[in-house]
């Protein structure tokens, strides 16, 4: 597992080969095994491939186009749209898209109380652990992945299309890598840690 931690890369180029369902199930099961606050297991994974993936991504594109044309739901984040279109291109190339839902969450456009916000943070931490488990298991199985947050720009369209009960957190692209990126820089350990004994 240590090899997977240090050797995993975000993959943005994929081969067209299908990912066998037994490999997908091993990856999903690793997500299911993640720890979660109060053992709520607040995740749901919805997998898209083939024509259904094309439908999903057409919906995402319509949301990105809405944002670009000035009907922005995230007006202060417009500088991120070019990257979101690039992410869409990557998702189109990847054979499998795994959408991640917080089954207890609410839309980011809904008002919530401070108590609900704390609960949302705990659930999001739990979901992050599940996603990381899946990324590492995928690495062990020779599957490339990209953890995606750019679904936020098309949140309303995607949530409506998927009929989401809860909060759409993001996505993961999966497939056989068609690139071998070098490690990206990391902050020095001493720059991100403090010890208080």
Give the model confidence (pLDDT) of 173-186 as tens digits.
Answer: 999 999 999 999 99
1 pLDDT more than 80: no
Cβ(171)–Cβ(91) below 8 Å: yes
Query: How do residues 38-95 score in pLDDT, each as one tens digit?
Result: 999 999 999 999 999 999 999 999 999 999 998 999 999 999 999 999 999 999 999 9
Residue 114 makes CB contacts below 8 A (sequence gap 6+) with none
Q: Is 102 helix (H, G, I), strand (E, B) or coil?
A: strand
A 10 A CB-CB count for 78 gives 14
Output phi, psi for 69, to 5 deg.
-85, 5
Query: What was the pLDDT predicted at 70?
Result: 87
Token pair 């995230």 is at which residue?
A: 74
């Amino acid at each position: 597992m240590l090899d997977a931690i240090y050797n995993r890369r975000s993959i943005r180029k994929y081969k067209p080969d299908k990912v066998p369902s037994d490999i997908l199930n091993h990856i999903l099961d690793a997500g299911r095994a993640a720890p979660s606050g109060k053992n709520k297991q607040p995740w749901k994974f919805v997998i898209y491939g083939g024509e259904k993936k094309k439908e999903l991504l057409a919906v995402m594109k319509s949301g990105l186009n809405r944002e670009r044309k000035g009907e922005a739901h995230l007006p202060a984040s417009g500088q991120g749209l070019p990257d979101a279109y690039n992410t869409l291109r990557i998702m189109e190339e990847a054979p499998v898209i795994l959408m991640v839902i917080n089954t207890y969450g609410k839309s980011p456009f809904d008002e919530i109380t401070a108590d609900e916000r704390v609960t949302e943070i705990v659930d999001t931490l739990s979901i992050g652990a599940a996603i990381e488990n899946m990324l590492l298991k995928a690495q062990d199985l020779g599957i490339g992945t990209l953890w995606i947050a750019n679904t936020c720009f098309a949140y309303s369209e995607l949530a409506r299309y998927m009929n989401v009960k809860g909060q759409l957190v993001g996505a993961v692209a999966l497939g056989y890598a068609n690139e071998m990126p070098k490690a990206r820089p990391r902050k020095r350990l001493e720059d991100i840690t403090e010890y208080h004994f």
